[in-house]
Amino acid sequence: MELAIGELARFLGISQDEARERVESYHPKQLAEDWNRLKPNTPEEVNEFYTRSADKYLYELISWNYSETYFKRIEPLLHYHNRKILEIGAGNGSLCIILALNGNDVTYCEINESLFAFAQQRFSNRLLPIKMVRSLEELEDKDYDIVIAIDVLEHIHPDSLGSLLKHIAGCLKDRGFLYHRSNFGQQDLFPMHFDHSESIKELFKDAGLRRRENGDYVKGGEDRGVQISVPIAGGRHISRLTYDLINMKTPPGTVFVKVDNESDIGRARNKLVEGLTQSWLFFADADQSFPIEVLERLLSWGVDIVSGVTFKRTQEPVPMVYRYAYEKEKEESMQSGGYFYAPMVAEIKNHLTQYGEILSNAPPAICLPQTGLIECDGVSAGCLLINRRVFDALEKPYFQCSEGKNNGEDFYFCRKAQLAGFKIYCDPSVLCGHYGEYWRGHRHFLSFAQNKPFPWKDEI
């Protein structure tokens, strides 16, 4: 926070100590007093208040942007890369800076003149090419993947909210979405908050924005659904999979496709990709079990490649979520060689130990409370959701064929996808079972990771 306070001191032409004192002594009641004194009533008066009379946000937002509550609000956005993003009510530009540093094409929109000038200084200091506008009418391009409105909609006059949402929808590309987090309460502390909780659902609908499970509002029609793809190599099919598929929560347009009587798992996966007719492909391997919410959870992130967590069914029960380790050249006299990956044991262990009480008696397949994603370099394809745009960008074969040998067809795909510019993610809250001689899951992994006695088959 000291960096931001120093930037504010330079912007205001005061000492850092004075800037720190203003930030630390600020209380929301100061802005509330200004609102109650001015009593803005019409949409025009509300806009005027935020344009010229709300400079105290210079102090409030620095502390707010470093709070745990704010971090939780923006955390789902930190996983996006190479997206075109517009933030409205963007304040001092903190989130825009993070998103730009993550490789996104970012536009900042803010009506408050002081905040606009301060953000402009911050972007310039970092040499960030963030476009800046004071209103949506100034936008030239209107094909954004994401529009962000964090703690914004409650500040919009009721007579203006419907037209704003329609304007936001007009800024989004087809299937782009609005990410909003709004506080329509606490009028005792924030009298400037309008309570839109009763009307906003209809206003979203009127704007052509439909809600999805994680609370985002998406423009346009439904996706063409998901193709749940089951590759079966060597006739291996566990009856548990049939039960899971029957009970799985699926979006409209979901189809089930399998390829069996195939000796090579890579070839089976390639056949499933070549027959893809939907927007998404979800690999559900025949030797795994899945939580019923798996598709809802993975789809909610809106990223191109995301997996759940599967644990190895042979040898050490490590998570099949990997970091790239090194490359070894294949020697003439040796059969070994290629790319090597290290399982992300520590990261998955640290996440799961937070939920020890939940997991103590849980089945191998379970969805934990949703938190965030982990970026990785390689994942098992056993519980893997992929957008069709990934396959459109890759050359065949998508998965390596190795004639029945266990030769990492999923690592082959991950390398090709990364070289094409796609990020690979794992959702550590989605846990799957993996069948070998018996079902393996999170209990086996945690016992291994914590050096505890191994829970064998009769204990599951």
Q: Is the peptide bond before 291 cis (omega within 30 degrees of 0)?
A: no
Same-domain check for residues 7 and 39: yes
Q: pLDDT band at residue 457, thresholds of 50, 70 and 90? A: low
Q: Which domain holds residue 187?
A: 2-219
Burial of 302 (0-12, 13-18, 19+ CB in 10 A): buried
Same-domain check for residues 205 and 325: no
Same-domain check for residues 324 and 369: yes
Q: Per the structure block, which two tokens stand in for 3?
A: 């960096």
Provide the pairing of β-strand 105-109 with 84-88.
Answer: parallel
Q: List pLDDT tens digits, range 188-222.
A: 788 888 889 889 889 998 888 988 766 788 887 55
Cα-trace Rg, the chain: 25
Q: Of 219, 242, 262, which residue constitutes the final position of a domain?
A: 219
Q: List pLDDT tens digits, range 412-426.
A: 899 999 998 889 999
Q: Per the structure block, which two tokens stand in for 73?
A: 């609000």
Q: List pLDDT tens digits, range 335-371.
A: 334 678 899 999 999 999 999 889 988 989 999 998 8
Same-domain check for residues 116 and 89: yes
Average pLDDT, the chain: 85
Same-domain check for residues 147 and 238: no
Q: Does the pTM of the predicted model rise above 0.75?
A: no
Q: pLDDT band at residue 233, thresholds of 50, 70 and 90? A: low
**Could you give the angle at which helices 57-65 and 113-125 cross, rounded to 10 degrees?**
50
**Of 101, 65, 104, 58, the residue nearest 81 (C-alpha):** 104
pLDDT of residue 235: 55
Tally of domains within the chain: 2
Same-domain check for residues 312 and 168: no
Q: Is the dihedral of CA 173, 179, 183, 184 positive or negative?
A: positive
**Of 365, 243, 220, the residue nearest 297 (C-alpha):** 365
Q: Is the pLDDT of residue 71 over 80?
A: yes
The residue type of 227 is: Q
Same-domain check for residues 12 and 159: yes
CA 435 remoteness from chain centre = 29
Same-domain check for residues 197 and 344: no
Q: Of 185, 219, 253, which residue constitutes the final position of a domain?
A: 219
